Amino acid sequence: MNVVAAQRFSKMHGAGNHFVVVDLRGGFEPAPEWIRAVADPCTGVGFDQLLGIEAARTPGAVAGFRIWNTDGSPARQCGNGARCVASWLRREGLQIGRDFVLDSPSGPLRVEVLDDGRFAVEMGRPDFAPTAIPFTAEAEAPQYRRRLFDEVLSFGAVSMGNPHAVVEVADAAATPVATLATRLQGSGDFPDGVNVGFAQVLAPDRIRLRVYERGVGETRACGSGACAAVAVLVRRGRVGREVAVELPGGVLGVRWPQDDAPVTLSGPTAFVFDGSFAAAFAAAAAPAR
């Protein structure tokens, strides 16, 4: 294994959804074992997702990024992560203006800098087709029912660039999230795995949400999960088109103006600290591509 220089990183969070951000533009390539080591909160840094900054891949984009879960597996979408990437690029001095595009693993994302310093990201249009999620249901429906051990679980399913199942519950705080989510994740109905959200409707413009993410577990916030929950609940007539989503780590804003429009996610970002991994950590990365 080749020894490489220590790798700099930034620790960030968006509404409690926490990340490690590394710059891949110099040729650094994180290997799965390195990602798992850094994700360990006791011997590494700890994160919900690792975000790797790359050069833009499409015309008009200012930069790109990749996403990995704590188990080293790649992810395709992360709304809070996209907002943190935008904030990181601005701090690095990239001239990006008020509106710009980032290349995410699931495609280009339009980002807007709001007047209060927060970032809003267009997350794309929700796709409810089972083949797009992917989900084994034979036909698209607002609600699905599956027997999981001794109970029947009702949920909606949607792709926000990554797969989501959304369960409406009476009390999100009292719901056995880990138990129900892992049962659904292990059901075999979602070939690529699934993020499972548990949503409690508080008012037509406000919900409470907990999300158990594939490859991670329960997180304090999930941007794509917030978008998925609102999309599923709008389709069922349970909420309006602009919703405040209360998560354990903070509040995110979700707006879906009409069915053929993209969902927009807004919320805060914060820098926690900057540092560098010791050479022994950095050496665990795979050779540059």
By annotation, the residues acting in catalysis are: 78, 222
How many H-runs (helices) and E-runs (strands) does the chain carry?
5, 18
Residue 2 is assigned to a ligand binding site? no
Residue 17 assigned as binding residue? yes
Q: At what angle do helices 79-91 and 223-235 cross, to 10 degrees?
A: 140
Rounded Cα distance, 167 and 195, in Å: 11
Beta strands in 204-249 (DSSP E): 206-213, 217-219, 242-247
Judge whether 79 is annotated as a binding position: yes
Q: Is 49 annotated as ligand-binding?
A: yes
CA atoms within 13 A of residue 254's CA, in its CB half-sphere: 37
Phi, psi of 254 (to 5 degrees): -125, 130
Q: Are strands 49-54 and 250-255 parallel, antiparallel or unpaired?
A: unpaired
Task: Flag whether 242 is marked binding.
Answer: no
Q: Is 146 annotated as a binding residue?
A: no
Which of 180, 140, 129, 156 is CA-nearest to residue 230? Answer: 156
Per the omega criterion (within 30 degrees of 0), is the bond before 32 cis?
no
**69 burial level (CB within 10 Å; 0-12, 13-18, 19+):** buried
- The annotation places the binding site for substrate at 17, 49, 69, 79-80, 162, 195, 213-214, 223-224
Q: Which residues are annotated as a binding site?
A: 17, 49, 69, 79-80, 162, 195, 213-214, 223-224
